[in-house]
């Protein structure tokens, strides 16, 4: 088995959370290297794009969160073997990543401009993505996004919905998901209650 080291911020969310969860669920040993936000300026110097997460595989550094999640998802048995189910899984992950990028574009905005940008995001793209995700979930049986079982698409949406509900994103109402796409909260709870996921957060006292 390759030696794996995942580098990301020291919080339970964001772009590395699906990979962390996948490796925990799949019993894949890895170094979970977490750093404080204050250390980001230093850490980013060692990454090709000044971004995290990165994954070192036997010392070779790899970027791009979804590529990393897909790789560890395959190791963990959480990625569909069937090409069509893999396509559906990827589609959901890419849509969430597009939504992440739109949110990231507002991160450096402050004051009234932030309120305006986030409100426009909530009423436009976020509404669209959340409704679409809910419709995808329902179209594929209502429990999981692809393959009729837990895949990395579920882990990606789980981390995304938790982030939106968290109250850490200024001007994103914490009841947004509940109002627009309540099935996604039910899905989030289903994933949270999956024994390996529940055990993972218990380990951190959450
Ligand atoms: N496409 C990259 C984007 C990574 C990314 O934007 N990461 C954020 C943290 S979640 C970051 O490092 N931002 C700093 C920057 O882009 O300058 C991926 O999916 O890994």
Q: What are the pLDDT digits (tens) for 63-78?
A: 999 999 999 999 999 9
Centre of ligand 1 to C-alpha 194, Å, is 28
SS3 7: strand
Residue 90 has pLDDT above 90, yes or no: yes
Centre of ligand 1 to C-alpha 64, Å, is 8
CA dihedral of 141, 71, 35, 96, whole degrees rounded to 10: -40
Q: If you search the block for the tokens 């995290």, which residue do you land on?
A: 52
Pocket, ligand 1, Cβ cutoff 6 A: 14-15, 50-53, 63-66, 104
Q: Whose CA is nearest to atom 10 of ligand 1?
A: 15
Q: What value does the mean pLDDT of the chain take?
A: 98
Query: Can you give the pLDDT at residue 60?
Result: 98
Which residues fall within 8 angstroms of residue 170, CB to CB, at 6 or more apart? 114, 115, 118
Centre of ligand 1 to C-alpha 148, Å, is 30
Helices (H), 77-203: 83-104, 111-121, 127-139, 152-165, 176-180, 182-193, 195-203
CA nearest neighbour of 183 among 135, 127, 147, 148:
135
Pairing of strands 60-63, 54-57: antiparallel
DSSP character for 16? G
Centre of ligand 1 to C-alpha 74, Å, is 22
Q: Is residue 118 within 8 Å of 126, Cβ to Cβ?
A: no
pTM: 0.98
14-42 residue pLDDT tens = 999 999 999 999 999 999 999 999 999 99
Closest ligand 1 atom number to CA of residue 16: 10
Confidence band for 1, pLDDT divided at 50, 70 and 90? confident
134-176 residue pLDDT tens = 999 999 999 999 999 999 999 999 999 999 999 999 999 999 9
Centre of ligand 1 to C-alpha 142, Å, is 31
101-132 residue pLDDT tens = 999 999 999 999 999 999 999 999 999 999 99
How far apart CA 104 and CA 34 sit, in angstroms, is: 20
SS3 191: helix
Give the residue, out of 7, 11, 15, with the most ligand 1 atoms within 8 A of its beta carbon, to mutate for a pocket test.
15
Q: Whose CA is nearest to atom 9 of ligand 1?
A: 52
Pairing of strands 4-9, 31-35: parallel
**Is residue 82 classed exposed, middle or buried when 0-12, 13-18 and 19+ CB atoms within 10 A define those classes?**
exposed
What count of other Cβ atoms lies within 10 Å of the Cβ of residue 168?
11
């Amino acid at each position: 088995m390759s030696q794996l080291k995942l580098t990301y911020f020291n919080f339970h969310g964001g772009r590395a959370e699906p990979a962390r969860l996948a490796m925990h669920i799949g019993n894949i040993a890895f170094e979970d290297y977490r750093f404080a936000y204050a250390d980001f300026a230093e850490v980013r110097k060692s990454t090709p794009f000044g971004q995290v997460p990165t994954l070192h595989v036997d010392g070779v550094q790899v970027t791009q969160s979804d590529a990393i999640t897909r790789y560890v998802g395959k190791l963990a048995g959480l990625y569909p073997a069937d090409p069509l189910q893999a396509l559906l899984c990827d589609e959901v992950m890419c849509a969430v990543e597009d939504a992440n990028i739109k949110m990231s574009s507002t991160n450096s905005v402050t004051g009234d401009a932030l309120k305006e940008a986030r409100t426009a995001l909530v009423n436009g793209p976020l509404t669209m993505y959340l409704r679409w995700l809910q419709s995808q979930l329902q179209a594929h049986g209502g429990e999981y996004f692809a393959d009729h079982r837990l895949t990395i698409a579920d882990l990606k949406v789980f981390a995304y919905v938790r982030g939106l509900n968290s109250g850490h994103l200024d001007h994103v109402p914490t009841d947004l998901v509940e109002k627009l796409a309540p099935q996604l909260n039910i899905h989030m709870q289903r994933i949270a209650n999956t024994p390996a996921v529940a055990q993972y957060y218990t380990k951190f006292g959450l």
